[in-house]
A and B are shown apart, each in its own frame.
Chain A
Amino acid sequence: MKKLKYLYIALITAMLVGSCKQELVVRQPPATTTPPTPSKGTLDFTKFVSIGNGLVAGMQAQALFNEGQANSMPRIIAKQLESVGGPTTFNQPDIGSVNGFNPISSVYASPVDQVPAFTLGRLILFDPDGPSGPRTAAPYPARFPGSTVTCPASVTTPPLPAPYNTADYPADFSGSKTTLNNYGVPLIYLVQTLAEATGGPNVPKNANPAYSVLFSRFAVVKSPSGAPGSGSTIIGDAKTAAGTFYLIWLGFEDVLLYAATGADGVTAGTFPMTASASFTGQYNAAIGALLAGTTFKGVVGNIPDFTSLPYFYTVPWNTITLDAASAASATTNLAVNYNAFLDGMVGASIITAGERDKRKLTYIAGKNGVLLSDDAVAPTSPISTPTTGLTDLSPYMTGPYTGLLPFKLARQATSTDLVPLAAGSILGTCFSGISTAVFGVSYPVSDQYILTPSETAAILTRTGEFNTAIAAAVAGSGGRLVLADVRKGYSDFVTAKAMVSDGVTIVPSFAPPAGAWSEDGIHPNNRGNAFTANIFIEAINTGFTGTVIPKAKLSSYTATKLPANP
């Protein structure tokens, strides 16, 4: 009996001890990261002033318009500065236009005109096949709705963004010109920021080549004569604004406009590249002027490689898509003749076999390199294969070969050639309405629509020189300025192909829903501006110890609009 009692006790104890409930994991809420506390550090953000080009002004889609301006890169930074002592106001010379003014697409009576005969607005993307069409999840930019392609339908080229035909030529800014914060002026060479002529007048019409309607409209004193000392300069007005902190991002156009117009610089409608020595002098002058007699601190942006901009890589080198019949036709009607002619030129020791091989044309069903005119290189003796450009064969295209004259510098693009977005408007169209002379296919596009490897290299070299000058100027500021390496920020982004922030993805293109650039492929869209703003904020936070400006949230800014149905 006693034994039994012990057994009971043992058993009950065992049960109580062993009767453990199954311990299921209690799940903790996911860890959240707390952002660092904002701090102005040693800086004073009570008046933030920005100076620069269209990327500072808020240009997008080739135009300055309300929405772009409201989401300009410095405006975004100003919002972030509010938590570190910045005011809630950030005055910009409001453009007061929904679609703005597109100085590039607008129709001019003469190539040298500054005032267009017909004003067009910002670019937008069109959905070519409408909402019921086979639209893809990542919509393509669309072709200009007014341009109907009558030439071979078998030639497929990418559609392009197109401008609004309702637009407003910029009017004078009616608000206070002395309390502005943003001195960004689109399409402005560095030298123009120092010249009174930029602010006008432009009388008689087109008499003032430095004139910028987009600065003139808010210049405090419009120079009556354009002579030095007679009126406002961009730098001068910005300095007068007496900011406590400056953002300076100058000099991009000095290389960009040249690159965007195909590294031509000579043909009307194309732009030159500024010489390095001139740039260095102008840059030092601008920075020197601003720093003299002031105590502000600031951040200075350098110049991105133009190859970081979607404008230069959206259209691939082999964008010409042919079907089998078109390829066969182009081979029979053009390639055979041109290639035979080239063989003759080698036989006659005019060109080397190496050059001939670069020039020979092949057409296949599928993707083909764009047919282009390369730069002219004078014939040499003894002959050699030119490292850049091609031998001008026009002297030999006589008699039976006269018909080949348009091909005197022709070759097909290779993967090292860049096709600017502007070429999209001509590729696939017909020369003089001749259906057998299709630009890029059977008729070469001119040099301004192509950047050859040597041109690309030259522009990047020049950009590097400019950036050296900028870095030197910053280094010589006695610690008042820090450098924002926008060049690296952009090229890293392009290399990475995508970036994720605040739950949204941005990619280096202008295609919605992730593209960070606006429809022109050069100016970032609202979200891209926030991305750029963060490069500057990061530079400030890094360069000025103790300053912590919170980064802009990319998710708070919209990206390029989805294609609209015409």
Chain B
Amino acid sequence: MNKFYKWSLLPLLLVMVCSTNLLAQSTTVSGSIKDAAGEPLAGVNIVVKGRVIGTITDIRGQYNLTISQAPPFTLSFSFIGFKTQEVELKDASTTKFDISMEEQNLLGQEVVVAASRMEESILKSPVTIEKMDILGIRAAPTPDYYDGLANMKGVQATSGSLNFTAINTRSFATIANVRFVQWVDGMDTQAPLLNFPTGNIIGIGELDAESMELIPGAGSALYGPNAFNGILIMKSKSPFDYQGLSAQVKYGITKQSDVQSNPLSQYSIRYAKAFNNKFAFKLNASLMQAKDWLGNDYKTDRLNPNSTTDLSGKNNFDGLNLYGDETQINLQSVLPSLGVITRTGFREEDLVDSREAKSVKFDGALHYRITDKVEVLYNYRFGGGSSVYQGTEKYALRDFTQQFHKVEVRGDNFFLRAYQTATDAGKSYNLTALGGFMNETISPSSTAWVPDYLLSMQGYTPGVAAGNPAAARAYADRNRPQPGTVGFTDLVNSVKANYFQKVPTGNWTDANGGAHPVRGGASFIDNSKLYHVEGNYKFMDKISWADIQVGGNWRQYNLFSNGTIFNEAPNDGVNFNRIPINEFGMYGVVAKTFAEKLRATASFRYDKNENFEGQVTPRLSFVYELNPENNLRASFQTGFRNPDTQAQFIYFPSSGGTLVGSTKANAERYGIHNGGAYSNTSYLAYVASGGSVNGTTGALTGGNQALLQTATVAYVQPEKLVSGEVGYKGLFAKKVLVDLNGFYTQYSGFIGGAQIRSKAATTHQTLPLAAGTLFSAYSNSTRDVTSFGIGLGLSYNLPRDFTINGNYNFANYVANEDVDFRAGFNTPKNRFSVGVGNRKITKNMAVNVNYRYQTDFLWQSSYGDWMVPAFGVIDAAVSYRVSSIKSVFKLGGTNLGGGDYRTNLGSPLVGQQYYISITFDEFMN
């Protein structure tokens, strides 16, 4: 720890030492800035091109800036909603510039950074990129601007919880989207244990958000291992550029059909102040509280979700939002009439306590401009809250937190940053484990519940009719407490008080005073960390024949779940050790423009993770300028994704077999890889033929041994892709912006799970594991998957300040799928979005209406497979500005008029949200 900090601060000190003697000459410029109507504009950015130095206008539109350099230099005046102006300062004689800013309603003027890790016009980006700028953030009709991403071209949003929308691009959607990277101010926000970002819970509050740039498709060549299907880069407001006090209060209600409406509230505050254009700080805090959507589908059978029959009375019903009914208990061999049965599930609403959806954000930053060219900053960020997320099983995240510390030195042509992420699972727990162990605590399946059920079915329980599954179940469940009673709460708490995979303690007392030892725990521990150091240097002025930049990073995942999720201590099961995983990467980008028409960019990246082979990911891209407003682009690139930390080191018993992280360091102790196991399918066929495997010796007895097939599962390796993309972006008559792109991607070595049965007995943390134990080992599929698609975006500036935006996406795939391999494409073939907005429908009023629609598609996940029906969603908002109190009132609603919809199997139905907000901004014009 200490070592790490010392090491990371060293270059910072060096920079500071080197820069002190540069303070020599200085020039001071000043002036005032007004809009076309002559009203002074406050908060306008004035920066010196090529430097970090700059200032903003005060409340009267005045500015004053001292530059430690003699002319000539160029001043750039920019302000949201206005056209950027540049003024060249030739000599020191003229230092007063009064500027009149022109309102901008022009398309294609945006500047993006993410596509090439350097600023460029969005029209000339070599790959497809989408941007939501500060105006878009303000105009978003959704209560959380982040959810507005759903209307963006190429984006598929999956709602797992009210405050957790998973963003997916380029298909293969999941809620636990490990193939997508989300950066906040240069920091990867993934939780090292979960390996995916929890939406905007760990993000930026609305008051501090400046922009979001989204690159659909592989970004490995620039962003490393996990930028596989896309990357979202969120940027907050610099305290130099956006100063003053702003605050927001938002109230609303959430409404689901047949469910009581619930309040929603959000309070945010931001304060930023710069001193002498040298030092600046900002503080942000926000709190969102609501009740989560109610997942109350108690009629869908998780294993037959497309059934048109109500299966809830079935003996082996596994209800979608019921927990504790996951294990299919096969009694076929004991009594054929019983067949396969499941325990009685508990309702999600009874297990997720108050259905709290909460998000707490706090962050602060200190910026110091050492020289005009070098800025150093420290940033602390805290995010956390309560939500629900769905992976292989469903988890209630409760008071989980993620904290970041970042130090960064940056100039116009370089940055060096180091950060640390630390997560804490808080009181989070696994709903499936909770339901399951509640059932086991009430009545252990094998010794009490099943015999009770079985004897009741056969007519041995006085007063219980034979052959009546409902009556037999009621009898076997006789000690089960009713939700809402003290006994029920006690039961939930006694299981939650214990940790998953730990020896449970405590007793639960039933209504008749019977004591039941607690049989297992549902809570989990996460104290994982991530350390990351990254640097980038651009040879801007040094090399003239091409634009060249180089960069590199080092990262360490430092995992710790105390044995509740990861397999930390293989030997004694007591003294758990942290698991470090080190990786590093370096890259170079060369861009050159030929004949002022064709710009070619080549990037090359090398990454190495200690557990895997090094990966080389090149990218080659071209932009051809037909004319300044019409550009063609083409790119070819490669990408890869290292198996995530769970795929490497998990050990997690679940109803579908024990999940085993399949990196060699973790998996070799079980001997199930590389031929040490039978395929589960062949094992079941063998058992069905009357065979058995001796749990201790692994010896085979009886049955048709020819049925058994060895499953040769290799240690898990990175999955890879090769992708080609062509696109066109053009502006017509300065009114219509067209963006058309098509892509073709070939994936290989998809990481999935292989269900296998161990050939020999082994041990896990001293506990014996019999031969024939079912494992679900992470493995690479040998099947290739190809996906392709088209995206079309249109923006049209209409008279009287109306804008209309639309986009359409087509996506499809080709894969050789069967029971052993499902691609999990999980994306509708067709989807579109249309939005109409007007920033000035009257002098003070703005409106924004958006509609999106997607066709039906097959959702495949370890949670279950389901045809997600088509749906359309309308979101709308209207805002009204009251300049006298420097505030904007906004009234909005989501999913207006539409019915409730579900984006995937297992998630609750998403209903409507209606809200009103007041945003105060000290510098509002």
Q: Chain B: interface secondary structure?
A: loop
Whether B851 lies near A555 (C-beta < 8 A) is no
Q: Residues of A contacting B804 with CB < 8 Å? A: 7, 11
| A559 touching B900 in the complex, CB below 8 Å, given contacts A20-B871, A500-B336 | no
B892 to chain A, nearest CB (A): 17
Q: Which of B310, B459, B851 contacts A27 (CB 8 A)?
A: B310
State which of A68-76, A317-325, A478-486, A501-509 sits at the interface with chain B: A501-509
Q: Which of B885-925 contact A (CB under 8 A)?
A: 897-902
Q: Which of A15, A25, A555, A559 contacts B468 (CB 8 A)?
A: A555
How far apart sit A28 and B308, CA to CA, in the bound complex (Å)? 6
Whether B900 lies near A22 (C-beta < 8 A) is yes
Q: Residues of A contacting B898 with CB < 8 Å? A: 19, 21-22
Q: Residues of B contacting A15 with CB < 8 Å? A: 834, 851, 874
Whether B336 lies near A14 (C-beta < 8 A) is no
Whether B308 lies near A27 (C-beta < 8 A) is yes
How far apart sit A449 and B137, CA to CA, in the bound complex (Å)? 92
Whether A503 lies near B460 (C-beta < 8 A) is no
How far apart sit A25 and B277, CA to CA, in the bound complex (Å)? 61
Whether B836 lies near A504 (C-beta < 8 A) is no
Q: Residues of A contacting B836 with CB < 8 Å? A: 11
How far apart sit A29 and B897, CA to CA, in the bound complex (Å)? 29
**Residue in chain B with minimal CB distance to A135:** B451
* Total contacting residues, chain B, CB less than 8 A: 47
Q: Is B455 an interface residue (CB 8 A)?
A: yes
How far apart sit A20 and B901, CA to CA, in the bound complex (Å)? 10
- Give the interface centre of A138, A505, A557 by most chain B CB atoms within 10 Å: A505
Q: Residues of A contacting B311 with CB < 8 Å? A: 27, 30
Q: Is A227 an interface residue (CB 8 A)?
A: no
Q: Is A4 an interface residue (CB 8 A)?
A: yes
**Residue in chain A with minimal CB distance to B867:** A25
How far apart sit A15 and B853, CA to CA, in the bound complex (Å)? 10
Whether B467 lies near A502 (C-beta < 8 A) is yes
Q: Is A56 an interface residue (CB 8 A)?
A: no
**Residue in chain B with minimal CB distance to A515:** B458
Q: Is B595 an interface residue (CB 8 A)?
A: no
Q: Residues of B contacting A556 with CB < 8 Å? A: 466
- Give the interface centre of A512, A555, A559 by most chain B CB atoms within 10 Å: A555
What band does the interface of chain A fall in when counting residues whose beta carbon is under 8 Å from B? 35 or more
Q: Which of B307, B309, B460, B802 contacts A513 (CB 8 A)?
A: B460
Whether A503 lies near B469 (C-beta < 8 A) is yes
**Residue in chain B with minimal CB distance to A555:** B467
Q: Which of A521-566 contact B (CB under 8 A)?
A: 527, 553-559, 562
Q: Is B184 an interface residue (CB 8 A)?
A: no
Whether A555 lies near B465 (C-beta < 8 A) is yes
Whether A29 lies near B310 (C-beta < 8 A) is yes
Q: Residues of B contacting A562 with CB < 8 Å? A: 455, 460
**Residue in chain B with minimal CB distance to A11:** B836
How far apart sit A164 and B459, CA to CA, in the bound complex (Å)? 23
How far apart sit A306 and B901, CA to CA, in the bound complex (Å)? 64
| A19 touching B465 in the complex, CB below 8 Å, given contacts A24-B869, A137-B454, A512-B460 | no
A477 to chain B, nearest CB (A): 37
Q: Is A229 an interface residue (CB 8 A)?
A: no
Q: Which of B307, B459, B900 contacts A558 (CB 8 A)?
A: B459
How far apart sit A504 and B309, CA to CA, in the bound complex (Å)? 24
How does the 8 Å CB contact mask read for B858-869 relative to A, with 1 for contact and 0 for none?
000000000001
Q: Which of B454-490 contact A (CB under 8 A)?
A: 454-455, 457-460, 465-469
Whether A505 lies near B335 (C-beta < 8 A) is yes
Q: Which of A11, A21, A498, A558 contacts B871 (CB 8 A)?
A: A21
Whether B459 lies near A555 (C-beta < 8 A) is yes
| A513 touching B458 in the complex, CB below 8 Å, given contacts A18-B853, A555-B468 | yes
Q: Which of B44-65 contact A (CB under 8 A)?
A: none
Q: Is B306 an interface residue (CB 8 A)?
A: yes
How far apart sit A371 and B815, CA to CA, in the bound complex (Å)? 65
| A22 touching B871 in the complex, CB below 8 Å, given contacts A503-B468, A514-B458 | yes
Q: Residues of A contacting B901 with CB < 8 Å? A: 21-22
| A4 touching B802 in the complex, CB below 8 Å, given contacts A22-B870, A555-B467 | yes
Q: Residues of B contacting A28 with CB < 8 Å? A: 308-310
B210 to chain A, nearest CB (A): 30
Q: Which of A1-59 contact B (CB under 8 A)?
A: 1, 4, 7, 11, 14-15, 18-31
What are the nearest 7 A-B pairs in CB distance?
Answer: A503-B467, A555-B467, A21-B899, A22-B871, A22-B901, A513-B458, A505-B337
- 25 cross-chain CB contacts under 8 A: A1-B799, A4-B798, A18-B851, A20-B872, A21-B872, A22-B900, A22-B901, A24-B902, A25-B307, A25-B308, A26-B308, A27-B311, A30-B309, A30-B311, A31-B309, A503-B466, A503-B469, A504-B459, A505-B458, A513-B454, A555-B459, A557-B459, A558-B466, A559-B459, A562-B455
Given contacts A4-B802, A137-B454, A512-B458, 6 further A-B contacts (CB under 8 A): A14-B851, A15-B851, A18-B853, A22-B902, A555-B468, A559-B460
